[in-house]
A and B are shown apart, each in its own frame.
Chain A
């Protein structure tokens, strides 16, 4: 059961256990983390599940596909070099403990 650590906009931290194969977005919504909107349900269509990945975890992720890169140009909060769409980050055992920060707005 890999864990994801969500750093919320108010600086609180929430640690949630997920299953390998689930996306970080799915884990966030199942845990009731409201800062992830995920309007399109994980299709990389809406850019409302934007997160900032802790830089030390960033290089362990597979590189974003073209779709995701284009949608990242349309996030409501500022796009940073560690911006990703959480629906496109699939959890694996190696990602146990991955930390992501939730931006202050998604829309």
Chain B
């Protein structure tokens, strides 16, 4: 137990959540020599695994296995006790303990919430229909892979990253695919007009039906299945429907415990919640973005990993504020989208040609400074952009967009 409120070797740490953030925190604590006695509380049956392949290789190849971050023996050797399929159901902040569904009580000195996000549902569509799927977890992916094997046609509601990745995978499997997006363009919340348009044209050229600006209305349900949905007033039959309409932060546990929540669990730059004994990391957090000081919630592997590193430092008594440059990616068929930095509505955009057809980057400048870069099939420019943004080195747009010079030359 702690003696004076500072971390001692025997401080007990409980981590709630089994995603990328939780896995990275375990690795960080092990590297710092603080993993012994840690408890990891997972809702899922699986040990933490890689989520990005779930919408791609995992869906496309029936024999593709889950990729666990670390094997069971690694956790055991590290001294980490993993509670699987046993979610936390309540936090007792006064008694400093977490209760699991099985009834187990875990005492903590420091608690870390890495509860992630869950797929958003349509309010008028009931849960439990046999031909309606979402994609967040391994169990979702196993189910969707099985469903896809038995249909000829897929309808995807939502033209965001997950929806389009699933759509591209289904197309590669030879399915006919319709994507329905209510916004006037694809990926509207995530990328610029130029990139969104390019993605739209590329998918259409591959034979995907992509409709933007459509109203998805009434559902007809029968025999535990969604039979039809109404698109722009026209009743349309449904073989299989995937909902890709975003995710909502999983903060029920935190809210019930009285922690400050507002579109996620509110944390400071050290990942501390409104209770000094409790931290939160990953998709579930609402954190101060370092360059603008605006509050932000991000769903990405990078954010999960980097916040976990910050939390590890905080727990080890050597706090380092969160300063990472956000980056994320999406793979949709032959499209590789890589984004570095955060887009902004008041940015001025410049285009940099890539090394081949269909390869380019869009550079965003805010008040004359490079703020973010979106790359389409231009991984080298993406990596250079990350370096430029990390070092806060500014390159004038006309120089950065001169494709006779590699962007890397300015790093």
Contact = CB atoms under 8 A, between A and B. Distances in A.
A80 interface: no
Contacts of A43: 52-53, 56, 329, 331
Contact of A29 (B52, B68, B336, B384): B68
Contacts, number: 60
Interface residues of A, number: 21
A40 B327 CA distance: 11
A71 B379 contact: yes
Interface in A44-64: 44-45, 47
A71 B69 CA distance: 22
Contacts of A30: 67-68, 71
Interface stretch (A1-9, A31-39, A93-101): A31-39
A40 B52 contact: yes
Contacts of B57: 42
B53 A41 contact: yes
Contacts of B67: 26, 29-30, 41-42
Contacts of B68: 29-30
Given A29-B68, A45-B329, A67 B27 contact: no
A21 B64 CA distance: 9
A75 to B, nearest CB: 10
Interface residues of chain B: helix, strand, loop or mixed (majority): helix
B306 to A, nearest CB: 10
Nearest to A71: B379
B394 to A, nearest CB: 21
B70 A41 contact: no
A39 B24 CA distance: 10
B53 to A, nearest CB: 5
Interface in B273-309: 301-302, 305
A73 interface: yes
B383 interface: yes
A41 B52 contact: yes
A74 B329 CA distance: 16
B408 interface: yes
Contacts of A104: none
Contacts of B74: 32
Interface of A: 21, 26, 29-32, 34, 38-45, 47, 67, 70-71, 73-74
